[in-house]
Each structure stands twice: as structure tokens, then as C-alpha cells.
Homo-oligomer: A and B are copies of this chain.
Amino acid sequence: MRFDGLLGFPGGFMQMRFDGLLGFPGGFVDRRYWSLEDGLNRVLGLGLGCVRLTEADYLCSHLTEGPHRVVAHFYARQLTLEELHTIEISAVHSRDHGLEVMGMVRVPLYTQKDRMGGLPNFLGNSFVGTAKFQLLFALKILNMVTSASVGGMAPLCRQRCGRAPAQGAGAAGWRAP
């Protein structure tokens, strides 16, 4: 079961991961020992330390494609700029830094005059699994950008997102074979 938390609105942030891809803070959770949110907070605690997410922060779930089938649950929390900065400072001191996480980056939620600078360029980077869809979904649902600026990817995002069945979230969410 993979939990991802989009923690950085306003000033959304992501991580450059050990594998060279951008993703959200999060990780796998063993449901034998943890509820979804407790597991997420435990995983986040290793890298961020100062944010606790609840069910109210739940946004969407994806079943990822590829050989490793993972249900990716996605949470979002609006933060003040001060809270965001506190997380960034905490992250650079965390034990994951330089190992699991190569660095945290803010997501530029704007488009510059050249129509590429900012979010469009950012979306041209390489993302892990469903992270790009999660980002686009969150931007749309949370009204962080206009539908027009999300562009042609929004329909695809809607198609792939949806609340996973409870039994799926509870039992089938491990990194299934």
C-alpha cells in the first residue's frame, strides 16, 4: 500500500527521489500494523516530521500500472508558507536526506509569459508512477490552477482517479505480486 501526501499547497512541493524521478513524500505502509493515516504519518515522520494527515485530507487513489501493482492513496493539506518552510528545513536534516530523497522542490504553480516557464516546464520532468496524475488532479480539485492551464491532461486524470473500494484499500493494497 503506497501512501502519498501532497503537502505543499500553497507552494506545492515534491521530492527528487533516489531513482532520479519526482514524486510526493510517502512510502509503503504495512496494514497489519497501521491504519492508512497512521501509516502515512509514520512514513512522513521519517522525512518531514512535523505534519500529521487525517482522513479529511484524503484526495484520491490510483491503481498503478506496471509489474508492481500498487494502490496509491493521495492526501493533500493546505499549509502556510511558514509551515512549508519549516518542513523544508526539517527535510534537509532528516535521515532520509541524500539516501531516499535527493532534495525537496516547490512546484511552480504559475505560467510565465513564454507559456512554458513554470508549471508547463515542470510537468516535462520525469515523475514516478502516478505522481504526475496526482499533481494534476490535486491542482484541479483544489482550484490551484485553471482547467485550461492543466490542459489536455485533465480528462486523463479524471479517468484514472477514483476512490478505491474499501476492501481494496484494506487488503489488496500491499505491493502486490
Measured CB to CB, the residues of A under 8 A from B are 11, 13, 16, 18-22, 81, 85, 88-89, 92-93, 97-98, 102-108, 112, 116-126
Report how many copies the assembly holds: 2
Q: Which residues of B contact A124 (CB under 8 A)?
A: 20, 126
Contacts of A126 in B (CB 8 A): 121-122, 124-125
Whether the Cβ atoms of B102 and A102 lie closer than 8 Å is no
* A113–chain B nearest beta-carbon distance, Å: 11
Q: Pick 11 A–B contacts, CB within 8 A, sort by A.
A: A13-B103, A16-B16, A16-B105, A19-B121, A20-B121, A20-B125, A21-B121, A98-B106, A102-B105, A105-B105, A125-B126
